[in-house]
Homo-oligomer: A and B are copies of this chain.
Amino acid sequence: MSTVALRFSPAAEHVRTARLVAVAVARRAGLGEDQLDAIRLSVGEMCARAVRRCGDTGVTEPMLVEVDDAGPRLEIVVTDSADAAEGDDEYVALALVRGLSDDMDLGDGPGGRGGRVWLSWDRSAD
């Protein structure tokens, strides 16, 4: 029960709020400044991706960012309700997130293809 979850309509204006939440939880969980920079960017990228997916497919259902600091790793899950194949424009965002997180997986969400991203950071890395 130490998950913090932020639910919001898939709009670009809320992405900054999601970054703030992820970084605030990670900071309290004791992660280092380099990891906080990585988390800020990764969560920003994955939320921007979700907003784009929802915009492209006309989805207005809220998206969700969950940050779980209970285990040995800080785990973050970003979920949207869109159903969309991987777009060409996602390449850079995904490359960045792969480069900045300790583990990253892409799976289906409640709406279909590509709607859920798992990110995690080892607490001990810094």
By a beta-carbon cutoff of 8 Å, the part of chain A in contact with chain B is 1-9, 11, 13-14, 16-17, 20-21, 24-25, 28, 60, 62
Contact = CB atoms under 8 A, between A and B. Distances in A.
A60 B3 CA distance: 12
Given A6-B7, A6-B21, A17-B20, 7 more contacts: A3-B8, A3-B9, A4-B14, A5-B7, A13-B28, A14-B25, A20-B24
A44 to B, nearest CB: 13
Instruction: List the 5 closest A-B pairs by CB distance, nearest first.
Output: A17-B24, A4-B8, A5-B7, A1-B9, A20-B20
Nearest to A6: B6
A60 B6 CA distance: 18
A51 to B, nearest CB: 13
A111 to B, nearest CB: 15
Nearest to A29: B13
Contacts of A2: 9, 11
B21 A17 contact: yes
Nearest to A65: B6
